[in-house]
Structure 1
Amino acid sequence: MQFHQEENGLKAELLTYTSLEGIEKNFPDLPWRNYLPHLSYTFAVEKISRACSHQLVRHRVASFSQQSQRYITIKNLDKKVVTPPTIGENEGFNNLIEQASDAYQRLVDQGAPKEDARFVLPNAAETSLLMTMDGASLMHFLGLRTCNRAQWEIRSLADSMLEQLREGEPRVFNNAGPYCYQLNYCPEGRFTCGKMDEAVERYSV
């Protein structure tokens, strides 16, 4: 599959996955959900913010390999940040990013180790990573992160991943989406977004 490009610039590519059909040949007649823990999916993710990657690694039943700020010199930070849509071309935000970039470069030029100079880098700094999840963990991830209440960047990432998963393994992932879509009720209780019908319609196949 080719990279899926989102409006905010992030890229996610489904690199490899375990075929449901392959497992079914050896162990037929089980409900498809029984196979989920034995299915594996690996994504290459690019141009997400460090803030987004911090949310990703909270999904502990997954494996991550993230670009290091300890060994890689960060150049042109002002061109490699993720800007929230609510901020846009805000002069104050842009000035702070520029100041952080200048401070980082000065520290490196003065001999500070990159692992120490990175302390001035913002959560907006772009990063890349590899991520592998089993099918059950991925369904849980999608249930949480495609929800209207999820933070906008990780929701955009989850939507991009889901689009590719539905292309590659529709029998499984046509059932995936926010938990209100998966369960046919909203489990958020008093924190519900109140837009379940809209969400279910959006993710319906």
Structure 2
Amino acid sequence: MPRALVKVLAHTPDPERAVAVAARLCYSPRSVETLSDSLTGAEIASLIDKIVEMGHYSPLEHAVFTFGIDNISRACSHQLVRHRVASYSQQSQRYVKLDKVSAIVPPSIEADHEAKSLFEEKLRELWAFYSELVERGVAPEDARYILPNACETKIIVTMNARELHHFFALRLCHRAQWEIRDMALEVYKAIAPIAPGLFKGAGPGCVKGACPEGEYSCGRAKEVRAELSQAVPA
């Protein structure tokens, strides 16, 4: 299966402390400096557990993560940018000339030898036509119209911890489309270990309790919990 490549580029220093201080400040007369200096590791963990359990997610917005993603399709990135509480910078097909075939092949096609051969043949034809258009003087921004959703792309994303919780809830569910779920899992593996307290319990509804999908449940709750727990060191 194609695998998204995720690299964390930057994040809020000591993100769990930042969130805990923000949460405590809401109910404390003390100064920010005093609160920050006085909170112990145990108090930080307890505060984060409490606010997440209460659904008081706004303090999580103070922890911000920036990460780059390689090796995903345009079909996947189109789904990703629907998460609007985030910032995105994507490789441009207008300014970056696509000289060679670079595409994501879905597992269902990869598993069928004949289908894969046909798929790759059509990709080569599309890229050849794209190159022909460019050679004829057509601007890449217009020649790209012939290229498929399978085109490999790269993107840099900035999300806060609250939006990441929402992203993981939707995209780590097995009802999500296979590629964005695969990508979301790689994002989770890269980010959750940085601030495990912030992302404890993050994921689809079945992580914390019963699956909210009802009759559409995949029935794989135990598998999902195990998959996510393995990504974060105990």
Aligning the two structures, in what range does the TM-score lie when normalised by the shorter sequence?
0.7 to 0.9
How many residue pairs get aligned? The number is 196
Q: Distance in 2 between matches of 1:82 and 1:140?
A: 26
User: Please, which runs of 5 or more residues in structure 1 have no aligned partner?
Assistant: 1-6
**1:197 match:** 222
Q: Is the 8 A contact 2:19 2:60 kept in 1?
A: no
Q: Distance in 2 between matches of 1:81 and 1:191?
A: 31
What are the residue-to-residue correspondences of 1:131-170 with 2, within 5 Å?
Answer: 131-170=157-196
TM-score (structure 2 length as normaliser): 0.78
TM-score (structure 1 length as normaliser): 0.88
Question: Once the 2 structures are TM-superposed, how far is the Cα of residue 17 of structure 1 from its aligned partner?
Answer: 1.5
Question: Once the 2 structures are TM-superposed, how far is the Cα of residue 8 of structure 1 from its aligned partner?
Answer: 1.8
**2:129 match:** 103
**1:24 match:** 20
What is the alpha-carbon root mean square deviation over aligned residues?
A: 1.8
Q: Distance in 1 between matches of 2:171 and 2:215?
A: 18
1:64 matched to 2:91: no
Aligned partner of residue 159 in structure 1, secondary structure: helix
More helix by share: 2
Query: Which of 77, 90, 101 is the equivalent residue of 1:53?
Result: 77
User: Please, which runs of 5 or more residues in structure 2 have no aligned partner?
Assistant: 27-46
**1:82 match:** 104
User: Comparing 8-17 with 154-163, which one deviates more in the overlay?
Assistant: 8-17
User: Comparing 10-19 with 139-148, which one deviates more in the overlay?
Assistant: 10-19
1:12 matched to 2:12: no
Quickly say closer, same or farther: Cα 1:171–1:29, change in 2 above 3 A: farther
Question: Once the 2 structures are TM-superposed, how far is the Cα of residue 149 of structure 1 from its aligned partner?
Answer: 1.2
**1:121 match:** 147
Question: Once the 2 structures are TM-superposed, how far is the Cα of residue 27 of structure 1 from its aligned partner?
Answer: 5.5
Compare CA radii of gyration and give the structure with the larger one: 2
